[in-house]
Amino acid sequence: MKPRQYSLRIRVAAAAALGATFIVLALGAVVALAIARNNLAQLDRRLETASTVLVANAATAGPFLGAFGDAGAFSVTIRTATDGTVMSSTPTRLPELPPGSETVEVDGTKYRAYTSKAEGINALVSLAVPYAEARDITVEQQRQVAFFGLGAVAAAAALGWLFGGPAVRPLVELTRRIARRDPDLATQVSGIREADELAAAAESMLKDVASAQAGTTSALATARDFASAAAHELRTPLTAMRTDIEVLSTLDLNQSQRQEILVDLARAQGRVESTLRDLERLAKGELSTSEDFKDTDLIEVCDIAAEGAMRLYPDLRVSVDAADSPVPYRIHALPGGIRLILDNAITNAVRHGRASEVRITLSYRAAAPAEFTITVDDNGAGIPVDEREAVFGRFTRGSTASQTGSGLGLALVAQQASIHGGSTSFHDSPLGGARLLIELKDLSTHH
């Protein structure tokens, strides 16, 4: 069952009434106690005053007490000071009491008594009135306090409702503006700190939502384009594979012909596998987050990439040269991303440029953020000037490239450089082939 909802204005009025209730209860308890004590003190003073007159005339008034009768209005008892023997009393006889004020009970009725000593007759004179006299006045006064307390609570609720409207109006207006998706919510200052803070938080949230929506829309568009390009790129080798399989299954071929078709099948299968692998790497790059970045030693990664390339291509010679730098070649980066840049750069030089020598050079430039440059020179065929920008596109191959690759190697290099806040470009190499310049930025707060 859905809980009942109340407006903020009603909640403000209820909070004011609740706060007033606590205050009224606390003050009411203090005032009620004070009233009871004050009325009792007043009664004691009246008894003390009356006792002063009675004590002065105790010798003459004593014999007539029994004739007065008390009728519940007052009671007087005179006892000897030595042994407490009753010398005279009204019909309601008070017990033996010490000097001072006391509350006593006689025949089930409470009395407030005051006892004083009559020196002339060596006696103790006790004067009492029914306790209900003070209690009734106290109850009436406490009833009046409770009545005014209830009035105060009602007044607090009414004032909370009255003043709650203007107080919550900025929040109501802010809610309407948020529902309308109004821009610049935080620029309209209401003068109420909570409302302005809520407006700033709502504006920030709406911007984040808009940014996420834009990112999602862009990602979906990229995914559609990417899927279309991937499907187009994979269609050619898959069609060739299907043709080869049909030839093998339908024609009677000799061993040499079968071997030729099997080699073609293996080549097409390798192209499909290479394309899928590079597509996976591209997707991982796009899904990388700041948590994946770690402090990375560029020299160490370059050495490992060089050793791996020379094992893969025995006729290739790869050298690493780190220019002198005042700081270590350490960067906050994706270690796998840096390795991917180097592996694809070297593979591109060997497979498409037919290079036999690759030289990797590191350099550093102090800036904010710090900038690192990886230069990959080769002695291969190079890349024509008019193709040096286009080859970084997905599924794009240069005119001198072999047709066995996926066309994604340099796109992966460009993507990883972009993830690291940098860029890529091709130039002429002093070795005679192509120079790939990769600029990276250390996006961390320290080196």
Q: Which residue has the higher pLDDT, 405 or 122?
A: 122
Q: Supply the mean pLDDT for the chain.
A: 77
Residue 185 confidence (pLDDT): 59
CA distance 435 to 426: 6
**Does 334 reside within a domain?**
yes
- Is 201 within a domain? no
Question: Is residue 178 domain-resident?
Answer: no
DSSP string of 255-298, one letter each residue: HHHHHHHHHHHHHHHHHHHHHHHHHHHHHHHHT--GGG-EEEEH
Flag whether 161 is in a domain.
Answer: no
Angstrom distance (rounded) from CA 137 to CA 310: 109
| Residue whose C-alpha is closest to residue 149's, from 43, 28, 302 | 28
Q: What is the pTM of this model?
A: 0.46
Residue 447's pLDDT is 38
Residue-wise pLDDT for 228-280, tens only, equals: 656 655 665 677 788 888 888 888 888 888 888 888 788 777 767 766 665 66
Q: What CATH number does residue 78 fall under?
A: 3.30.450.20
Nearest Cα to 369, choosing from 445, 295, 420, 293? 445
Per-residue model confidence as pLDDT tens digits over 19-58: 778 887 888 788 878 877 888 888 888 888 888 877 777 6
pLDDT(281) > 60:
no
Q: What is the pLDDT of residue 307?
A: 92
Residue 44 CA from chain centroid, whole number: 64
pLDDT on residue 325: 65
From 275, 201, 285, select the one nearest 237 (Cα to Cα).
275
The verdict on residue 216 lying in a domain is no
Q: Which domain holds residue 301?
A: 289-441
Could you count the other beta carbons within 10 Å of the beta carbon of residue 435?
19
Whether residue 281 is contained in a domain is answered as: no
pLDDT classification of 446: cutoffs 50, 70, 90: very low
Phi, psi of 253 (to 5 degrees): -105, 155
pLDDT at site 315:
92
**Residues 139-185 pLDDT 10s:** 777 777 778 778 877 877 777 677 666 666 666 666 676 666 666 65
Residue 66 clears pLDDT 80, i.e. is over it: no
In terms of Cα–Cα distance, which of 121, 125, 123, 115 is closest to 82?
A: 123
CA distance 89 to 99: 17
Q: Residue 333: which H helix or E strand, with range?
A: strand 330-333
- Residue with the bigger pLDDT between 300 and 107: it is 300
pLDDT digits (tens, 9 = 90+) for 397-422: 666 655 555 567 788 788 888 888 88
Which of 95, 130, 152 lies at the terminal end of a domain, its last residue?
Answer: 152
| Cα dihedral 43→48→54→58 (10° resolution) | 130
Query: What does the pLDDT read at residue 375?
Result: 93
Which one is predicted more confidently, 115 or 406?
Answer: 115
376: pLDDT strictly greater than 90: yes
Task: Say what angle helices 193-250 and 255-286 make with each other, to 10 degrees.
Answer: 180
What residues contact residue 334 under an 8 Å CB cut-off, 6+ apart? 288, 292, 293, 294, 296, 416, 419, 420
Q: What is the mean pLDDT of residues 286-302?
A: 78
Task: Report if residue 217 sits inside a domain.
Answer: no
Q: What are the phi and psi torsion angles at 54 (to 5°)?
A: -65, -40
Domain boundary among 152, 187, 217: 152
Give 323-374 pLDDT, tens digit per residue: 776 667 888 888 888 888 898 899 889 988 899 999 999 998 877 677 889 9
Confidence of residue 293 (pLDDT cuts 50, 70, 90): confident
**Per-residue confidence (pLDDT) for residue 179, from 0 to 100:** 67
Residue 54: inside a domain, yes or no? Answer: yes
Q: State residue 225's pLDDT score.
A: 59
Rg (alpha carbons) of the chain, rounded to whole number: 51
Q: In angstroms, rounded to a whole number, what is the distance separating the alpha carbons of residues 398 and 349?
A: 12
| Number of structural domains found in the chain | 2
Question: Which tokens go with 443?
Answer: 């996006």
* CA-based torsion, 81, 84, 87, 93: positive or negative: positive
| End-to-end C-alpha distance for the chain, whole angstroms | 57
pLDDT score of 13 more than 60? yes
C-alpha 380/C-alpha 388 separation (Å) is 15
184: left (phi over 0), alpha (psi -120 to 50) or beta: left
Looking at per-residue confidence, does 441 or 183 come out higher? 441
More reliable by pLDDT, 168 or 376: 376
Length of the chain: 447
The amino acid at 283 = A
What pLDDT digit, counting tens, does each position of 295-335 carry?
A: 889 999 999 989 989 988 899 999 999 877 666 788 888 88
Tell which of 128, 152, 176 closes a domain.
Answer: 152
